[in-house]
Chains A and B, each alone.
Chain A
Amino acid sequence: MKVPLQDNKDFLAGLLMIGIGSIAFYMALDYPFGSTLRMGPGYFPRVLAGIFIAFGIYVGLRGLRTGEKVESVWGWKALAFITVSFWVFGWLMDRIGMIPSLVVLFFVSALAGHEFKFKEVVILSVVMILFAWAVFIYGLGLPYRLFWWD
């Protein structure tokens, strides 16, 4: 059973760990290490990053040996739309107020699903935005503008 490297679950996990660990270690080089008696701000991060890289090497090598495949398919499209819906919402909140921002959030995030029915999304956003208004603005008293003219 030969699994291509880009589908090898543990190899990829190991690679990710080594990558994150290396960045963390490299950045921590700027923080004074101190000594065991007086630990500097760089002590804990560097030790942890080192351990993390070691785990990464172990998991990665194990992956080469066992060669287990990543299960199911990658949901990149769904992940992209959902991530973007958070980003766009955050960016719009201060600019155009809560209600238009939420409309955008609903339309962008609904694109992550398998079916996109325009009418349904319209109804869903109307109902849920009313609900959000009741919970956040009326119930919790959060001081957000509803529209850009408020």
Chain B
Amino acid sequence: MDIFNNLIFGFSVALSLQNLIYCFVGVFVGTAIGVLPGVGPLVTIAMLLPITFNLPPIPALIMLAGIYYGSQYGGSTTSILMNLPGETASVVTCIDGYQMARQGRAGPALAISAISSFFAGCVGTLLIAMFGPPIAEMALKFGAPEYFSLMLMALIAAACLSSGDMVKALAMVVLGLLLGIIGTDVNSGMARYSFGIPELTDGMGFTVVAVGLFAVSEIVKNLETPEKGEVFTAKIKNIMPTLADLKASIMPILRGTGIGAFFGTLPGTGPSIASFSAYMLEKKSAKDPSRFGKGAIEGVAGPEAANNSAAQTAFIPTLTLGIPGSGTMALMLGALTIQGIAPGPQVMTAKPDLFWGLIASMWIGNAMLVILNLPLVGMWVQLLKIPYRWLFPSIIMFCAVGNFSINNSAMDLYLVGIMGILGYVLVKLECPPAPLILGFVLGPLMEENLRRALLISRGDATVFFTRPISLGFMIAAILILLTMILPAIRKKKIEAYESGSPP
């Protein structure tokens, strides 16, 4: 079996002392920051991305992945204990998790959340190992027209399927593409949108955009209204779930893992819609749906499993096609690019140690999460007591020094400020920043492939519709657009998102 050989190879990379340490640091830091209320995975990664730039590629990616699923996981802890979701994906966990905590069952809720996350994470990792290679092999045959159509479809899907206003999300993709143009045009050598600033002829730094859009806007939004006083923090008595809890959770975990694995691979949906769907399914298939919202353990197990398997399978399109489906995945892709690795199907063959090492490290990282979280939960709870007025200057410090360290240039920090203003205004006007970063990451590639495709076809724009694979992507893109314009389906999408919001 090829997979096994590859996985063993991966483990040989991931189990090296250096990589183990970075994996641990990533998971630990990710959980610690993820636990903090008001600091979601996007902010965490945006803040720590510049730091990993100073590491070699494999440890950097392993650490970032650890931060990613660590913060995802830490967010669930906060949801259960404080009813404060760090991000949309853990909103659902709040509903029943917090109720369990109020009933004095915070321990079992956390344990079930850890167990379902671990199981789902393992399955998700295995799925990457299984489906990654064949997808990459297929993608190697793609020419420029196929790539352009694929990216177009991914961007449209990401904008349409994400929560919120579809038109604004599409507009933000376009804005991201425009920002991606900044820099020197590879074909003509002409500096575009550089405003006469020499630093901008190299393009706007990826971390500059990420920190400005996600970290600054998030902090300012949190500072709009005064900090809330004391929040109810549940006491944790015993961690162990009862046998009945475990039995009740098995099926929800399996179902949640399946749902999550499916939604994770789709652009735009990712962990949040996966956990909403899993919650709805559990509620529908339960014998007594009225228990939901009052501390049903299935309402924690299913969504948590979905959330984590989606978080893992989201790596499939990112690593094999070089096409990220969500804001966080765009950040991971950006990290690859910063490390000088061109993302795409060739990563697997050109850098097998990176690809398989990363996958193996995800499995190790998931195991570390369980070990780290159950016994240390008391420590994480202490972190919840840190007031926000201490946190945000510290976050700004990391963003500032980190961004400075990439080019040692003050200009990057001036640009962070400008992107921060833009990011905050956009967030206030409910223009989602995640599609923007997707457009920003894919922009240069899209222009390049569009040019190449049209050069091959001698300027004939129908080339995107005459090649079968490209036609398939185009049809899918048009279908997604059309279905979202139909009012009935749009209403359904809004319902799906709203049903998950806490009462």
B-contacting residues of A (Cβ < 8 Å)? 9-10, 12-13, 16-17, 20, 24, 27-28, 31-32, 35-41, 44-45, 48-49, 51-52, 55-56, 58-59, 62, 70-75, 78-79, 82-87, 89-91, 93-94, 98, 102, 105-106, 109-110, 112-115, 120-121, 124-125, 128, 132, 135-136, 140-142
Task: Tell whether, in the assembled complex, residue B425 and residue A16 are in contact, meaning their CB atoms are under 8 Å apart.
Answer: yes
Look across to chain A and name the residue whose beta carbon is closest to the beta carbon of B429: A13
Task: Tell whether, in the assembled complex, residue B223 and residue A41 are in contact, meaning their CB atoms are under 8 Å apart.
Answer: no
Contacts of A10 in B (CB 8 A): 429
22 A-B residue pairings within 8 Å (CB atoms)? A28-B192, A36-B454, A37-B459, A41-B188, A45-B178, A51-B174, A55-B167, A55-B171, A59-B168, A62-B167, A71-B430, A78-B223, A83-B418, A87-B417, A89-B413, A105-B393, A112-B220, A114-B223, A115-B389, A125-B393, A132-B398, A142-B405
How many Å lie between the Cα of A45 and that of B492 in the bound state? 35
How many Å lie between the Cα of A29 and that of B181 in the bound state? 14
| Chain A min CB distance to B20 (Å) | 17
| Chain B min CB distance to A7 (Å) | 11
How many Å lie between the Cα of A86 and that of B430 in the bound state? 24
Contacts of B455 in A (CB 8 A): 37-38
Look across to chain A and name the residue whose beta carbon is closest to the beta carbon of B225: A72
| Chain A min CB distance to B45 (Å) | 16
Kindly list 12 other residue pairs between chains A and B, CB separation below 8 angstroms, not including A72-B225, A90-B413, A136-B51: A16-B429, A24-B193, A32-B188, A48-B174, A58-B167, A79-B216, A82-B220, A85-B396, A105-B393, A112-B219, A121-B393, A124-B394
How many Å lie between the Cα of A106 and that of B216 in the bound state? 15
Contacts of A114 in B (CB 8 A): 223, 226-227, 389
Chain A interface, >50% SS class:
helix
Contacts of B447 in A (CB 8 A): 44
How many Å lie between the Cα of A41 and that of B428 in the bound state? 33
Known A-B contacts A114-B226, A114-B227, A142-B54; the reply to A39 vs B451 at CB < 8 A is yes
Look across to chain A and name the residue whose beta carbon is closest to the beta carbon of B394: A128
Most buried by B among A27, A82, A121: A82
Contact of A136 among B394, B401, B421, B454 (CB under 8 A): B401
Contact of A135 among B51, B177, B187, B404 (CB under 8 A): B51
Contacts of A40 in B (CB 8 A): 188
